[in-house]
Amino acid sequence: MKTRFLIIATLLCTVIQAQSYYEAARFDEYRWNEVSKEYEDRGGSWEDTRFILHKEYFTLEKDLQKETFYKWWWVYYGDNEQLGECHILENDAAKVCIDEDNQTLWILTGYDEEISRWTKAGALSRIKKIKPFLIHYYE
């Protein structure tokens, strides 16, 4: 009986630790300017946004409505010197990069095939790891 309990407890701990929970205090928005060949700062705001990182998916709080989340499946894309570890979301909807050095999560959207570039970027920063919580997914 003790052995069975230890096996179940070990499996549960492994599943629970397979994802990490975070909260960002700041969101900044950027747009690509084809003339200057740079991303322009469109401003930002102080807002708490929770998200979950898992090796197979990315979950983000929806529009600051607590307890409601979007979930996307993702695949590892590669490391980027400036943005960190990058992943591509399902259906190539976005590129998400985790910059651990600067504690920033980059979300790149609006890929333009003509210029081979993501045209919009959002940055969640001032990130801290938080305790796990229950969530409800937005359908």
Residue 74's pLDDT is what?
A: 96
Q: Give me the residues of the chain with pLDDT under 50, please.
A: 1-17
Contact between 115 and 102 under an 8 Å Cβ cutoff? The reply is: no
Residue 14's pLDDT is what?
A: 37
- CATH number of the domain located at residue range(s) 19-137 in this protein: 2.40.128
What radius of gyration, in Å, describes the C-alpha atoms of the chain?
A: 17
Domain positions in the chain: 19-137
Contact between 60 and 51 under an 8 Å Cβ cutoff? The reply is: yes
Buried b / exposed e over 90-128, threshold 16 CB at 10 Å, is: eeeebbbbbbeeeebbbbbeebeeeeeebbbbbbbbebe
Residue 63's pLDDT is what?
A: 64
